[in-house]
């Protein structure tokens, strides 16, 4: 999970590294993810979102498709 200056830089890096370019996320979307995951992390009853909650969060931010589907993200 890294930063890129632009989509072109991300594309160049993926080609050079032999990786598939994944969906790119804007900073405002990333802030929404960060607050959803961590805003209560220093509280006693905090927990990670469960898979169904994750799917809803991603969809609400326009992050859709198989890449964002956490269906096999089971919790130990």
Partner 1 sequence: MDLDARIKLAAYAHFAETGRGPIPAEVARRSGTDVATVLDAYPRLRAQRLLLLEADGASIRMAPPFSGVPTPFVVSVGGTRYYANCAWDALGIPAALHEQATVQSHCEQSGEPLRLNVGRSGPEPSPWLFHCLVPAAKWWDDIVFT
What is the contact surface with partner 1 in residues (CB under 8 A)? 1-7, 9-10, 12-13, 16, 19-22, 24-31, 33-35, 37-39, 41-45, 47-48, 54, 58, 66-73, 75-76
Using an 8 Å Cβ cutoff, are 13 and 4 in contact?
yes
Q: Which of 55, 49, 75 is nearest to 67 (CA)?
A: 55
Q: In angstroms, what is the minimal distance from the CB of 60 to partner 1?
A: 14
- What is the 8-class DSSP label of residue 64? -
How far apart are CB 71 and partner 1 at their closest, in Å? 6
Q: Which of 7, 58, 66, 51 is nearest to 32 (CA)?
A: 58
Q: Identify which of residues 21 and 60 has a Cβ nearer to partner 1 in the complex.
A: 21
């Amino acid at each position: 999970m890294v930063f890129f200056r632009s989509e072109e830089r991300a594309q160049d890096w993926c080609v050079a590294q032999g990786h598939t370019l994944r969906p790119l996320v804007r900073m405002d979307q990333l802030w929404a993810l960060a607050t959803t995951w961590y805003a209560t992390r220093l509280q006693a009853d905090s927990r990670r979102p469960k898979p169904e909650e994750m799917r809803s969060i991603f969809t609400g931010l326009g992050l859709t498709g198989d890449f964002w589907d956490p269906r096999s993200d089971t919790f130990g």
